[in-house]
């Protein structure tokens, strides 16, 4: 399977690239706005992984990364999601799956808050910008980038998968569970994504307010 | 300590009454709109607890339950929170703490969604209705009523405590941790309550969509 990480040099992109490169044998393409930045990130990731690199790791400009990809994860800041999806829309296969891990977060003196987009959630913003034939799945929003990028960190976290296309959700669910220490849970329809995204500022508030809780994740029982 | 559970005959009130009555030695007053309904609930709770009843369990009309209480938990549906708090405002001690466990939830064909009140959260609705001197603390929103009321169910869940008054939060934090299987985490300011409340419809969606996850709760690590 070919997995494109658009914005694969950012926080969540870095963590996903490292974990997928270590825990799977897929083709993982790290995308960035420039080919140079993507290539430099891949060189660094490969260095850090050393002999643990099992995937086929490569780099490309975001637009090129999306070509022929089975899964395209839009790992860019929430305010760039719409533009990024639109810019690759002509290059994404109709049978590809778009994955939305981004969350809109605002901060004030009292803490971090969910900044809900007018479309309901970032995942729905991505769906609005995506070609009609390409399903969007929400996933990975609640993973602390620091934990994900620290390969010594045993995760033990749940990832909630939302979407309206059962096949697309099954693809993403299987991919989540290929990463050591992640369990995928079905969150239902894409319209249920806002409550998943809203948990990310909550996790940051908990990390700020509680000694000993850093790079925390969530599990349900 | 005297703990009043306004709406203590409802789902979350029932669970809190049973757990507090079993796991603490406080004075627990189950309030309801009528004294008869409250008395009948207390009789049933005492029956179910049998020899496990360690608290001093009593019943009263909501207004009377709040008198002299150290902690007043507003266990009523979200659309009754404002009226209920206003109706007891003249009877609550200035050094009491109001606790807000309620969550606004809507449902459509796609799932359960957080129905955010105009004030930002139900906890902030309660604060708006409360006397200025009486601090409001958000807590207990993410506990499945079914798990809480089933005394055979080992909880193992986290409870997030939000509020702007450190002493009030400390009181509620200590109370949470008196209940077996609950850990209190500091969620920061009362303004951070919306993200806590939003997790409740998410928990319901996960229970609906995933086999084997019933009456689930959350833990952070």
> Does domain B2-209 fall into CATH 3.40.50.300?
no
Contact B108 A185 (CB under 8 A): no
Residue with tokens 């934990």: A147
CB neighbour list of residue B212: distance below 8 Å, 6 or more residues apart? none
B106 touches chain A (CB under 8 A): no
Instruction: Kindly identify which residue of chain A lies nearest to residue B188, measuring between CA atoms.
Output: A209
pLDDT computed for residue A104 by the predictor: 97
Q: Whole-prediction pTM value?
A: 0.96
pLDDT computed for residue B12 by the predictor: 96
Residue A82 binned pLDDT confidence (cut-offs 50, 70, 90): very high
CB neighbour list of residue B137: distance below 8 Å, 6 or more residues apart? B97, B98, B99, B100, B123, B161, B162, B163, B165, B168, B169, B171, B172, B190
Joined tokens for residue B198: 């939003």
Distance of CA A64 to CAs A58, A68, A88, A110, B106, Å? 11, 9, 8, 42, 42
Q: What is the pLDDT of residues A1-31, one digit of tens each?
A: 999 999 999 999 999 999 999 999 999 999 9
Q: What is the pLDDT of residues A156-202, one digit of tens each?
A: 999 999 999 999 999 999 999 999 999 999 999 999 999 999 999 99
pLDDT computed for residue A60 by the predictor: 98
Distance (Å, rounded) from C-alpha A197 to C-alpha A105? 9
Chain A closest-CA separation from residue B119 CA (Å): 14
Length of chain B, in residues: 221
B195 touches chain A (CB under 8 A): yes
Question: Would you give the distance in Å from CA B202 to the centre of its chain?
Answer: 18
The torsion defined by the Cα of A98, A100, A101 and A104, in degrees rounded to 10, comes to 160
Count Cβ–Cβ pairs < 8 Å, chain A vs chain B: 126
Chain B closest-CA separation from residue A91 CA (Å): 30
Contact between A204 and A108 under an 8 Å Cβ cutoff? The reply is no
Distance (Å, rounded) from C-alpha A114 to C-alpha B201? 15
Q: What is the pLDDT of residues A116-140, one digit of tens each?
A: 999 899 999 999 999 999 999 999 9
pLDDT computed for residue B180 by the predictor: 98
Chain B positions in Cβ-Cβ contact with residue A159 (cut-off 8 Å)? none
Contact A199 B203 (CB under 8 A): no
Q: Closest partner residue to A221 among B194, B201, B219, by Cβ? A: B219
Q: Is A203 exposed, middle or buried (0-12, 13-18, 19+ CB in 10 A)?
A: buried
Q: What is the mean pLDDT of residues A72-96?
A: 96
A133 touches chain B (CB under 8 A): no
pLDDT computed for residue A93 by the predictor: 94
pLDDT computed for residue B163 by the predictor: 98
Chain A positions in Cβ-Cβ contact with residue B210 (cut-off 8 Å)? 185-186
Contact between B172 and A191 under an 8 Å Cβ cutoff? The reply is no
Instruction: Kindly identify which residue of chain A lies nearest to residue B184, measuring between CA atoms.
Output: A210
Contact between A96 and A130 under an 8 Å Cβ cutoff? The reply is no
pLDDT computed for residue A125 by the predictor: 98
pLDDT computed for residue A156 by the predictor: 96
> Phi/psi at A163 (nearest 5 deg)?
165, 165
| Best of B107, B159, B181, B195 to mutate (most A CBs within 10 Å, chain A) | B195
Mean pLDDT, chain B cut into blocks of 10 residues (221 residues total): 97 97 98 97 98 98 97 97 97 96 97 95 98 98 96 96 98 98 98 98 97 93 91
Q: What is the mean pLDDT of chain A?
A: 97
> What percent of chain A shows pLDDT beyond 70?
100
Residue A50 binned pLDDT confidence (cut-offs 50, 70, 90): very high
User: So where are chain A's domains?
Assistant: 2-209
Chain B positions in Cβ-Cβ contact with residue A113 (cut-off 8 Å)? 191-192, 194-195
Q: What is the pLDDT of residues A201-220, one digit of tens each?
A: 999 999 999 998 989 999 99
Chain B positions in Cβ-Cβ contact with residue A112 (cut-off 8 Å)? 192
pLDDT computed for residue A37 by the predictor: 98
Q: Is A164 exposed, middle or buried (0-12, 13-18, 19+ CB in 10 A)?
A: middle
Reduced 3-state DSSP string for B41-62 = HHHHHHHHHHHHCCCEEEEEEH
């Amino acid at each position: 399977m070919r997995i494109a990480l658009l914005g694969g040099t950012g926080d969540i992109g870095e963590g996903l690239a490292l974990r997928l490169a270590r825990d799977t044998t897929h083709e993982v393409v790290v995308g960035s706005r420039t080919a140079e930045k993507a290539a430099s990130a891949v060189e660094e990731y490969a260095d850090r992984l050393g002999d643990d690199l099992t995937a086929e790791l490569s780099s490309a400009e975001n637009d090129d990364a999306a070509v022929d990809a089975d899964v395209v994860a839009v790992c860019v800041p929430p305010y760039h999601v719409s533009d990024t999806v639109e810019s690759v829309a002509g290059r994404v296969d109709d049978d590809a799956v778009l994955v939305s891990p981004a969350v809109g977060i605002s901060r004030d003196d009292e803490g971090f808050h969910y900044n809900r987009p007018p479309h309901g959630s970032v995942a729905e913003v991505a769906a609005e910008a995506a070609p009609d034939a390409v399903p969007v799945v929400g996933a990975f929003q609640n993973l602390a980038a620091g934990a994900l990028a620290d390969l010594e960190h045993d995760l033990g976290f749940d990832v909630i998968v939302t979407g309206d296309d059962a096949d697309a959700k099954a693809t993403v669910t299987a991919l989540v569970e290929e990463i050591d220490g992640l369990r995928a849970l079905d969150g239902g329809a894409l319209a249920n994504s806002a409550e998943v995204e809203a948990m990310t500022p909550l996790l940051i508030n908990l990390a700020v307010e509680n000694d000993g809780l850093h790079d925390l994740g969530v599990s349900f029982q």
